Amino acid sequence: MDKLAMGGYGVYVWSCFGLTLAIVIVNEWRARHRHRIELRDIEVRIKAMEARQ
């Protein structure tokens, strides 16, 4: 348990690790979400171009 306390700075260290992990997860989720939106937009544009021909 002493190692987790990190000499009294454990709260700060672990909260920074947690915040960093949360930011990485949110970034990954947003990138994947945006990618899906872009792919749908491309599909719509391709279908619209095919309909014109």
* HSE of 43, CA atoms in CB hemisphere, 13 A: 6
Contact 26/19 with Cβ under 8 angstroms?
Answer: no
| Structure-token pair, residue 29 | 């989720």
Q: How confident is the model at residue 45 (pLDDT cuts 50, 70, 90)?
A: very high
Euclidean distance between CA atoms 44 and 42, whole angstroms: 5
pLDDT score, position 7:
85
Higher model confidence: residue 33 or residue 7? 33
Euclidean distance between CA atoms 53 and 44, whole angstroms: 15
Higher model confidence: residue 49 or residue 53? 49
Euclidean distance between CA atoms 11 and 32, whole angstroms: 32
pLDDT of residue 3 exceeding 80, the answer is no
For the beta carbon of residue 14, count every other beta carbon within 10 angstroms. Answer: 13
Mean pLDDT for the stretch of residues 25-31: 98
Write out pLDDT tens, residues 4-27: 888 888 899 999 999 999 999 999
